[in-house]
Amino acid sequence: MGKILLSIDWDYFIPINKEWCSSYIENKKNIISLWYKRYIENKIKGKNIEHLIDVSPETYLFWNKLKKYFKIHNSTKVYISDSHKFSYIIAKKHNCSEVFSFDAHSDLGYSGINSLDFKLNCSNWLGKLLKDNYVKKATIIYSPYTYENKEDFKEFNKKFNINYIKFQNLPKNIDISVIHICRSGAWTPPWLDFKFYKFINELNLKYKIINCPNRKWNTKNIDLASQINYLLCS
C-alpha cells in the first residue's frame, strides 16, 4: 500500500473577503505589505480588520476530530512552510501515492489542464502531482469558507482520480506517513501567525520548517511615508 500525505493549508480555518482570494505570487510584498495595505484601507473606512478576521472555532478542535479518521504516529514526518507548493516536493520525496488536502482551494490549477505545464507553484502543485503520476489519487476536503466548487474543475475531475468529500464523511483508519502544514501568507493575515504556530504545536510532533519566514506585524505608529508605500502596493 502506498504512502499518504496529509496536507493542511492554514487558510482552511480563516474566512477572508472574497476580493482577497485572487492569485498572488508568493513574495514578501504579498505575504506582508499587502496586508498592511488592507489594514490601512479598512482603517480609513473606520474598520479594524484585525478584529474582523480570526480563525474559526473549529481550529481548536481540529486535531482531536482529525484523529477520529486518520492514524498519526510518533514517527510521522511533519513539515512546515509558507507556500503550499512544497507539498509536491514532500510527496515526491516520500514516495506518496495519495494525498488528502484540507484547503480553501483545490490547487489543481486555475487555467485548465494547460496550467499544469506552468512552473510548479502554490496553485497547481496537486494537479502536477497527478499529471506527473507521482500521486494516483487526491482527496480534497474543502474549507467551510471556500469560494470554489468541484464543478469548477470538471476537466481535471475527468482526467484524474479526484475525490471531494466533507470532513465528517471521511473513511476511518487512514494511515498517514507525512504531514505538511502551510501558512499561505498571501491569503492568511499576519496577526494570526501566533495562532498558526500554536495550532502546529498542539499536534505534539516534531516538525521541520522548510521555508516560513517570520512576518513582523505592528500597526502602531506607522509613519505617513510607510502608509503611502503600502497603499501603492498592488
Q: What is the pLDDT of residues 139-196, one digit of tens each?
A: 999 999 999 999 999 999 999 999 999 999 999 999 999 999 999 998 999 999 999 9
pTM for this prediction: 0.94
Q: Which three cell numbers stand for residue 233?
A: 502596493
Q: Which three cell numbers stand for residue 4?
A: 499518504
Longest dimension (CA), the chain: 59
The C-alpha atoms of residue 209 and residue 100 are separated, in whole angstroms, by 20
DSSP per-residue letters across 208-219: EEEE--------
Q: Which three cell numbers stand for residue 164?
A: 471531494
Reported as a single tens digit per residue, the pLDDT across 185-209 is 989 999 999 999 999 999 999 999 9
Q: Which three cell numbers stand for residue 137?
A: 489519487
Q: What's the number of CA atoms in the CB half-sphere (13 Å) around residue 12?
A: 24
